[in-house]
Amino acid sequence: MCRRHNKDHEILFSRERGAFLIPYFIALLFEGIPLLHLELALGQCLRKGSIRAWNTVSPYLGGVGVGSWMVSVLVSLYYNTVLTWVMWYFINSFQEPLPWSACPLNENRTGFNEECYRSTAVNYFWYRKTLNITPNVTESGTLQWWLILCLAACWAIVYLCTIRGIETTGKAIYVTAIFPYLVLTIFLIHGLTLPGATDGLAYLFTPNLNTLKNPRVWLDAATQIFFSLSLAFGGLIAFSSYNSPKNDCEKDAVTVAIVNSMTSLYASIPVFSVLGFKATTGYWDCLDRNIISIINEFDLPEESIMRENYTAWISFLNSSHPEKIAGLKLKSCDLQEFLDQSVSGTGLVFIIFTQAIILMPGSRAWAILFFIMLFCLGLSSMFGNIEGVFTPLLELRIISKTIRKELLSGIICLICFIIALCFTLGSGSYWIDIFDSYAGTVPLLVIAFFEVIGVAYVYKIKRFSKDVKWMTGRKPNLYWQITWRFISPLLLLIVFLAFVALQIQKPSSYAAWNPKYEGFPMKEEKVYPPWVLAICVLLAVLPCVFVPLVALFNLIKQMCRSKDTSFIQPEVFSCQEANCNFCHPKESIPIVSVCKKK
């Protein structure tokens, strides 16, 4: 059983973590685990990809399969671009000193490049040297050739690992799943020895209950679960269809969820100790700069003011020479403020972490290890997405059987590469944020909602419980019954409505990197123009719209057919019969016997 996890997405797209753990665990318990068990059981029982599986459950629910296939396609497109960025940083980590550690000089060599000087070297490398970002989303800029090269390499790697479907993916997973654990352990040990690590860990584990009042935090927890467990992508159904029918899917579901959460917690420890280290270093830098200004102004001997007696000196000097102190314009240094700098999105990895890595001794090795680990994590999620795209296509009768698997996966990878080229434009990272916020949240909620409703009320829970009993040997207990029937659909509905309400309340805005902005290096808040908003809505609606469309289509077909008297009702099937009658395309048992030599 392939255990996949999507830590990469969590690390890359996570919001502030302090109090995040509480909504995360609630979402896991009432949304994540029931849905996980549902999808695993469904795939194992029906032994098909997501499109045909949902068609088998009920023809009216066929749209759910198509919807999750659509989401897999959209996510695969933009997700690999994030891996491109990771690869770009990885191949740049071989340079000594690291290219993001120092600012480049300006033309006449009298000072540093202005954009870099006003922000930081790390910001400059990310926004200018990597993305070459444009000041707003409407300006597309040009294609960045270095990103195109890395994108081609990433898609080539994905092709290499999925070339023959599950055969090669299964072997690649061994590397991409185990290696990150090794690196995380190394980072854990190193991170705990860094100064300021304990501050970061204290910050992680002391929940700031005020943040729980913000509905955005709950929303993020709920949608994060989908990415974390890869629910509603169709990939899980595809993967579990390769399991033997008598596999204990209930145990698998609980194990996967627990392993996932443990990994999440395990990963957050080095992350937060490094963040604590960075905050402490920033705080010390702030103090040191103030100390130097004071020493220079008052011509005091060096090392007369240290960090420890800084506050005593400040109060003394403020009382004796207040005008001079005021004239120095000292910055107030507060450790809590540094810890609170919650950067969300790709900034967490490419700005904060890279800055922390420069501060560590032996930074080149740490950078290389870190980016390989991120790449492995992201790659294992890509496998799931591509599998969710690949398997239904293989099974649909649209693709003729004569096309070989290698050719099909090559064609899919090529098409995705060409479409993803638009993310390598100057405005690419704005588009990725759009895709992530709209294609990666709402459709998943809607599809998961229809999945649970479909199994609980169309297929009927009693039948499903019987099927699960046939597979695992025991009937699903009260927890599963209650969550499948009531709690999960209700929770999903509430989250969906809250999301829509929040979106309507304030106009969608984004933060743009504009060197000509007065408040630079702060980002400029801009509102999306109407045509971009239309695309956002399209991204969110496109996968969901298949559910009612297919249901309507089948309803019309049914009504036409019911006028025809010779129409026979499709047989009601069960898991047991499904496994006898429907053979999995991969393991077709020859029905005709062969003459054997005695």
Between CA 507 and CA 527 the distance in angstroms is: 7
Closest CA to 170 of 333, 384, 27: 384
Q: Which is nearer to other proteins, 91 or 359 (CB)?
A: 91
- Token pair in block for residue 390: 């690949």
Q: Which is nearer to other proteins, 129 or 526 (CB)?
A: 129
Q: Which is nearer to other proteins, 159 or 430 (CB)?
A: 159
Q: Which is nearer to other proteins, 30 or 375 (CB)?
A: 375
Between CA 485 and CA 487 the distance in angstroms is: 7
Element of type H or E holding 524: strand 524-527
Q: Which is nearer to other proteins, 109 or 401 (CB)?
A: 109
Q: Which is nearer to other proteins, 298 or 470 (CB)?
A: 298
Binding residues for Na(+): 228, 260, 377, 381
Query: Where along the sequence are the contacts to other proteins (CB under 8 A)?
Result: 87-88, 91-92, 94-95, 97, 102, 104-105, 109-112, 146, 149-150, 153, 156-157, 159-160, 163-164, 168, 295-296, 299-303, 404, 406, 593-598
| Distance of closest approach, residue 358 Cβ to other proteins, in angstroms | 14
Residues forming a β-bridge with 525: 511
| Distance of closest approach, residue 95 Cβ to other proteins, in angstroms | 4
Between CA 577 and CA 570 the distance in angstroms is: 14
Residues forming a β-bridge with 201: none
| Distance of closest approach, residue 596 Cβ to other proteins, in angstroms | 6
Between CA 66 and CA 234 the distance in angstroms is: 9
Between CA 222 and CA 224 the distance in angstroms is: 5
| Distance of closest approach, residue 302 Cβ to other proteins, in angstroms | 4
For 570, phi and psi rounded to 5 degrees? Answer: -65, 145
Between CA 446 and CA 492 the distance in angstroms is: 8
Q: Which is nearer to other proteins, 400 or 562 (CB)?
A: 400
Q: Which is nearer to other proteins, 165 or 282 (CB)?
A: 165
| Distance of closest approach, residue 370 Cβ to other proteins, in angstroms | 16
Between CA 45 and CA 464 the distance in angstroms is: 10
Q: Hey, is 412 helix, strand or coil?
A: helix
- Token pair in block for residue 306: 């240290």
Between CA 541 and CA 534 the distance in angstroms is: 10
Q: How far is CA 548 from CA 37, 308, 555, in A?
A: 25, 67, 10
Q: Count of alpha carbons within 13 Å of 42, Cβ hemisphere only?
A: 31
Residues forming a β-bridge with 112: 105
Between CA 76 and CA 413 the distance in angstroms is: 10
Largest CA distance in the chain: 109
Q: What is the CA radius of gyration of the chain?
A: 27
Q: Which is nearer to other proteins, 299 or 564 (CB)?
A: 299
Between CA 276 and CA 341 the distance in angstroms is: 11
> Distance from first CA to last CA of the chain, Å, rounded?
39
- Token pair in block for residue 131: 């993305």
| Distance of closest approach, residue 296 Cβ to other proteins, in angstroms | 7
Q: Are 215 and 502 in contact (CB under 8 A)?
A: yes
Between CA 373 and CA 266 the distance in angstroms is: 14
Q: Which is nearer to other proteins, 246 or 321 (CB)?
A: 321
Q: Hey, is 105 helix, strand or coil?
A: strand
| Distance of closest approach, residue 308 Cβ to other proteins, in angstroms | 17
| Distance of closest approach, residue 119 Cβ to other proteins, in angstroms | 18
